[in-house]
Structure 1
Amino acid sequence: MTHHTDTHAISDFERRARENQQRLNAALKPVYDFIVCGGGSSGSVIARRLAENADCQVLLIEAGGDDEAESVLDPSLWPTNLGSERDWGFQAQPNPHLDGRALPMSMGKGLGGGSSVNVMVWAHGHRSDWDHYAAETGDSGWGAEAVQEIYRRIENWQGAPDPDHRGSGGPVWVQPAADPSPIAGALLDAAQELGIPRFDSPNGWMMAGDGGAAISDMLVRDGRRHSLYRAYLRPFADRPNLTILTNTLVRRILFNGRRASGVEIERAGEIRSIGVGSEVIVSTGAINTPKLLMLSGLGPRAALGRLGIPVVQHIPGVGQNLQDHVAFCCTWEYRQPLAPRNSGSEAKLYWKSRPELTAPDLLLCQVEFPVPSERTGALGVPEHGWTMFGGLAHPQSRGAVRLASSDPHVAPIVDANMLSDPADVEAARACVKLCRELGAAASFAPFVTREVIPGAGNPTDDRFLRDAAVTYWHQSGTARMGRDDLAVVDASLKVRGVEGLRVADGSVFPTVPTGNIQAPCAIVGERAAQIIRDTHCL
Structure 2
Amino acid sequence: MDSAGPLGAGQAEGHYDFIVCGAGSAGSVVASRLAENSEVRVLLIEAGGSDDVSEVMDPAQWPLNLGSERDWGFVAQANPHLNGRSIPLSMGKVLGGSSSINVSVWARGHKNDWEYFAQEAGDPAWGYESVLGIYRRIEDWQGAPDPLRRGRGGPVHVKSAANPQPVALAMVEGAASLGVPAFDSPNGEMMEGRGGAAISELTVRDGRRASIFRSYVQPRLGQPNLTVLPHATVSKLVFSGTTVVGVEVVAGSHRRRYYADREVILSLGAINTPKLLMQSGIGAEDELRRHGIPIVAHLPGVGQNHQDHVSFGCIFEYREPQQIGHGGSEATLYWTSDPALDRPDMFHCQVQFPVPSAETAALGVPKHGWTMFAGLAQPKSRGTLRLSGPDAGDPVLIDANTLSHPDDLAMARLSIELCRDLGNSAVFGGLVTREVLPGKCDAAGLQQFARSAAVTYWHQSCTAKMGRDRMSVVDHRLKVYGIERLRIADASIMPQVTSGNTMAPCVVIGERAADMIKAAHRV
Please indicate, yes or no, whether the TM-score normalized by the shorter chain is above 0.5: yes
Q: How does 1:514-525 map to 2 (within 5 A)?
A: 514-525=499-510
Aligned residue in 1 for 2:460: 475
CA distance in 2, matches of 1:457, 1:264: 55
* Residues 8 and 222, structure 2, Cα contact 8 Å, conserved in 1: no
2:112 corresponds to which residue?
128
Residues 64, 109 of structure 1: 8 Å contact kept = yes
Residues 1:447 and 2:428 aligned together: no
Q: Report deviation, 1:22.
A: 6.3
Separation in structure 2 between the aligned mates of residue 477 and residue 421 of structure 1, nearest angstrom: 17
Q: How far apart are the structure 2 equivalents of 1:20 and 1:285?
A: 22
Quote the residue 2:487 is aligned against: 502
Query: Which residue type is aligned with residue 495 of structure 1?
Result: V
2:7 aligned with 1:21: yes
- Of the three residues 161, 164, 171, the one matched with 2:155 is 171
Q: Distance in 2 between matches of 1:70 and 1:87?
A: 15
**Mapped contact 2:490–2:509 kept (Cα < 8 A):** yes
- CA displacement at 1:355 relative to structure 2: 3.4
Aligned pair count reads: 522
Q: What secondary structure, in the 3-state scheme, does the structure 2 residue paired with 1:24 have?
A: coil
Give per-residue Cα distances to partners, 1:9-37, cap 9 Å, x unaligned. xxxxx89x999836634xx2211100000
Distance 1:29 1:50 in 2: 18
TM-superposed deviation, 1:409 = 1.0
In structure 2, what is the Cα distance between the partners aligned to 1:503 and 1:268? 26
Q: Quick check: 1:20–1:240 contact (8 Å CA) kept in 2?
A: no
- What is the match of residue 512 of structure 1? 497
CA separation of 1:447/1:139 partners in 2, compared to 1, >3 Å: closer, same or farther? Answer: same
Q: Tell me the SS of whatever aligns to 2:402.
A: coil
SS at match of 1:343: helix
The whole-number CA distance in structure 1 between the counterparts of 2:330 and 2:134 is 25
| Equivalences for residues 105-184 of structure 1 within 5 A | 105-184=89-168
- Residue identity in the other structure for 1:393: A
1:527 pairs with one of 492, 502, 512: 512
What is the CA–CA distance in structure 1 between the aligned matches of 2:188 and 2:339, rounded to whole Å?
A: 21
| Residues 426-455 of structure 1: CA deviation (Å, up to 9, x unaligned) | 111110000000001100000010001112
Deviation at residue 153 of structure 1 after TM alignment? 0.8
Contact 2:314 2:437 in 1 (8 A): yes
Partners of 1:18 and 1:55 in 2: CA distance: 26
Query: What's the secondary structure of 2:48's corresponding residue?
Result: coil
Q: Where does the alignment leave 5 or more consecutive residues of structure 2 unmatched?
A: none
In percent, how many aligned pairs have the same letter? Answer: 56
Following the alignment from structure 2 to structure 1, what is the Cα–Cα distance between the partners of residues 388 and 404?
Answer: 22
For 2:363, the aligned partner's letter is: L
Letter in 2 for 1:238: G
Tell me the CA shift for residue 159 of structure 1. Answer: 1.1
Contact 1:36 1:281 in 2 (8 A): yes
1:8-87 matches, within 5 Å, as: 21=7, 24-25=10-11, 28-87=12-71
Which residue number corresponds to residue 241 of structure 2? 257
**TM-score scaled to structure 2, two decimals?**
0.98
Q: Which residue of the partner structure matches residue 383 of structure 2?
A: 399
Alignment partners' CA distance in 2, 1:435 and 1:465? 13
Structure 1 gaps, min length 5: 1-13
Query: Normalising to structure 1: TM-score of the pair?
Result: 0.95
1:333 correspondence with 2:317: yes
Task: Read off the aligned partner of 1:112 and give its amino acid letter.
Answer: G
Please list the CA deviations of residues 346-373 of structure 1 after superposition, one character each: whole Å capped at 9, or x if unmatched.
0000011233323211100110000000
In the alignment, which of 467, 473, 487 is matched to residue 472 of structure 2? 487
Q: CA RMSD in A?
A: 1.4
1:465 maps to 2:450: yes
Match of 1:83, SS?
coil
